[in-house]
Structure 1
């Protein structure tokens, strides 16, 4: 017998709440009748945006994506250490000229970077070869919408593919994947026109097209940002030359990429208070 509910009960190792499952085929036909045939508006469509809050059994609605949140929390990617491998994600603006240095050797195919994809959604560690920034414990809050970013960097080449991944670190030490950004720096200002970076110059990479999330964070949870360069065997690698990336070869990877990640970089996390 066909299951009447849409979606999956377990996604990338995470068991979703029972109320998150809904009869998607039935709702789709009701919506089509409403749009195409003038039928009564389906009761489940409270407003233009309808979303389920992860960590609860609750559905909510909003008039627009912007109306999902009424505030942003701004966190800087500071160079202050909180442990041997972690740095402070702080709401206090750090000194302007502080930075962390990362070296990525694209000619070395024995290593990989940027484990940004949410599989598994909950994991025990995010330690790797990028930089990890962790906040102080926070009050319970509803993260609601798409997070934004402003990454300030300088590199020794002309382009870079970077990734920024956002996690909730729960009080019991689990990392819950909230959202991520992955993008090519040369298209950050205009995704229709490539604009190469100037080697050695401090540049700003702004992004906002991250995966939407609605998640109830537990009291004493922390927010975690993982910053890295995209380098994995499943991607088209950007070696940072002037060439079109699709035409680059391993011969363009001779000189390792050196990145200065400046600590006045920040992310803004949307919350509904």
Structure 2
């Protein structure tokens, strides 16, 4: 069913390749205007991303998205204006260690990093610095390159794994086949595997946040582009895939709109408000 102004109370949007466009990536003027219009109409807008909240916040300041946000593929709920972590789901050290060593048996060159403390503490085997379009995050993360035992020794909201020279789809397929207890692997379009605590997805946390706001799934529109959006697109009353989405996201969606480079989120909001 096509979403209308009378039926929609919350619009949840992925960020990369959905909300953000251009180079360097940013929220376009048209999309900022549409986000303001949605808020003025009483529709809640929410950024739901694989990015950590500090990185999300880099893009959303000055928009209605600079409030409640979901990051780390559902593992963190934070205020994107103040940086306060409101809730988090932790991947246990035993689970992340088991998956890492299982992946090493398949891909000896795999390197990993973990995000702790609402995503604000990064411990990595390699020089991990999340691309934030050349700008500084409103609050800087604590990032250090350390030995593997230190990377894995503390529970984390997200584990990432990168294998030089191996397509991330292949690493993801291996992680899914391993089915390590306690782990929820996914991919987002970045060049690394992303792993949360088992059962934690964008959808699982969006459902909790929406319930806390008194909003039913039927009143939610979700828009996204990649594998890590699939559960969210299926859960929402209306799931929308951008034209540049992966086959998995397209198959999960109820509707398909224009690409992120054609202001997909703005188009969606404009259509809802005019219907």
Whether the TM-score (by the shorter chain) exceeds 0.5 is no
Q: Which is bigger in relative contact order (C-alpha 8 A, separation at least 6)?
A: 1
The structure with the largest alpha-carbon Rg is: 1
Relative to the length of structure 1, the TM-score reads 0.24
Is the strand fraction higher in 1 or 2? Answer: 1
